[in-house]
Structure 1
Amino acid sequence: MDADTTPDAERGHDPAEVRIAFLLFPPVTQLDLTGPAQVLTRVPGARAEYVAATLDPVATDCGFAVVPTRTLETAADADVLVVPGGDGAFDAMLDPAVVAFVRRQAERATWVVSVCTGAFVLGAAGLLAGKRATTHWASAPLLEAFGAEPVPERVVTDGSVVTAAGVSAGIDMALWLAAELAGQPVAERIQLQLEYDPQPPFEAGSALRADALVVTAARADTEARRGARVAQAAAAVLP
């Protein structure tokens, strides 16, 4: 079946629906996207759209692609906007069309959420100024460039803006949001259905607990891939 390209004005909106827009850009970190999607699409009334610049498949960082259902121009106004991260987020935050889409959606959405470096796309859209926020630990200090207060927590809520730390934190964020949308019993049922009960084999999931050599190597890799793009985006938002 071809993706729906009907303009939003012609579609109508069932008030029982929870319209969720997932922003796509290459290369998106797949778990930033699929983790929250696995949770939020189980919320009663959820209707998910996967939005990209075109309807062409969007590459993930894992070697497979995701097929969008909407373009930036034809996407419906969402109740929830989800912005994942990945290396592509640092290019997306410099894309005027993506930034305009995020700003437009944020004007009407009940919740605007990001996972990992997706926070920088929100920052480029001017949505983090004066707000507490989090992102991947290796990039968190750079949130200050957008007027945000970096907070070393896994999920941070400030008004209608919710930011999650790196990658797997998107699942925690989505479960919290599911409770806000449908109540805690529903969110707990979703958690149980997914058997989300992390028991990692190593104490290396936090920069506070991981071996110092592991942290240093991971930070250097992140900085090399990120380059100067955050400074470029911040310069376009704040004087």
Structure 2
Amino acid sequence: MTGSTHSATRRTVLRGTAALTAATGLTAVASPAHAAPAKPGGEGPRVGVLLYDGYSLLDPTGPAEVLSRVPGATVTMVAERRGPVRTDTGDVAVVAERSLDEVDRLDVVLVPGAGNRGTVAAMENQTLLRWIRHMNRRTRFTTSVCTGSLVLAAAGLLDGRRATTYWASAEYLEKTFDVRYVPERFVESGKFITAAGVSAGLDMALRLAARLTDDDTARAIQLAVEYDPRPPYDAGDARRASPELKARALKILADSQV
């Protein structure tokens, strides 16, 4: 690519950005790299995403991508202590900006799922469970992705309710807790919204965005993030998967986790 072509392309992009800025009335403001930029308004829902050792990466970050686009919303990663928290594979860490004791009220709590090690540890972590119960007293919505519903159930919040979870944990959810498993991408039960495994958190987050605003806003967010899934394989539904494929899927997960 020549310098002139590159410049022309860049000018075109900037013109598009300028047009969008003019249309929306927003002004781009440079901010220091170390500072969290202020969002316009900031009077929308406060969303707290719980991180704990061994969570699955897309469980918190997929919904955060969607919910951070809700007008005026703030999305904060929260953990027992501030700092990086590693995923189930150990390859990636997401930074928790707040510790549990720095957050005393949220409009939305989201509990991600994890591999077996992370889920079991979270279910037995009384500090996490107490915080979830405390937050739940004042939330508008308490939500989970994947095996995060097991953590909500361990906190005693899903008793007598319908919920979903990762397909391989469905039997455990029903046998261990007073919960009726529903094999859907997401399940609403009052203010509780639970999502199935990993990628289903995106579906749940769009539904939550609609509940926080309206259907048209949620549709616009879906288009903004271009969520139009067309996977190359039709293999994502455990209800139609062979025993051999299920076994291989679980082995791949186990082998990738630390």
Tell me the TM-score normalized by structure 2: 0.78
Verify: 1:171 aligned to 2:208, yes or no.
no
* Alpha-carbon separation, structure 1, partners of 2:235 and 2:254: 19
Match of 2:166 in 1: 136
Q: Which residue of 1 aligns with 2:72?
A: 45
Instruction: State whether residues 42 and 72 of structure 2, in contact with CA within 8 Å, keep that contact through their aligned partners in structure 1.
Output: no
CA deviation string 1:59-106 (max 9, x = no partner) = 023511111111111114000000011122221111010000100001
Output aligned runs, 1:25-174, within 5 Å: 25-62=52-89, 63-87=91-115, 88-144=118-174, 145-174=176-205
Counterpart position of 1:11: none
Partner in structure 2 of residue 209 of structure 1: 240
1:220: Cα distance to partner? 6.3
The runs of 5 or more residues in structure 2 that have no matched partner are 1-33
In the TM superposition, what whole-angstrom CA distance separates every residue of 1:147-176 from its partner, at most 9, and x where no partner exists? Answer: 100111111000111100000000000000
1:15-69 deviation line (CA, Å, top 9, x unaligned): 9321000000011111001110000000011111111011121002351111111
Change (3 A) 1:67 1:222: closer
- Name the larger-Rg structure: 2
Point out the more displaced range, 111-120 or 52-61. 52-61
Between the aligned partners of 1:136 and 1:54, the Cα distance in structure 2 is 27
2:227 — aligned with what? 196
Specify the SS of the correspondent of 1:49.
strand
Aligned residues: 216
Distance 2:217 2:193 in 1: 20
* Counterparts of 1:135 and 1:182, CA distance in 2: 25
| CA shift for structure 1 position 211 | 3.5
Runs of 4+ residues over 4 Å off in structure 1: 219-226
Contact 1:82 1:114 in 2 (8 A): yes
CA distance in structure 2 between the partners assigned to 1:182 and 1:28 by the alignment: 28
Q: What TM-score does the superposition give when structure 1 sets the normalisation length?
A: 0.84
- Name the counterpart of 2:6: none
SS at match of 1:82: strand
2: CA distance, partners of 1:100 / 1:156: 24
Amino acid at match of 2:78: V
Which is bigger in relative contact order (C-alpha 8 A, separation at least 6)? 1
Cα distance between partner residues in 2 of 1:69 and 1:164: 24
Unaligned regions of 5+ residues in structure 1, if any? 4-13, 227-239
**Identity rate, percent:** 46
> Aligned AA for 2:111?
V
3-state SS in 2 of match to 1:67: strand
Does structure 2 conserve the Cα–Cα contact (< 8 Å) formed by 1:203 and 1:210?
no
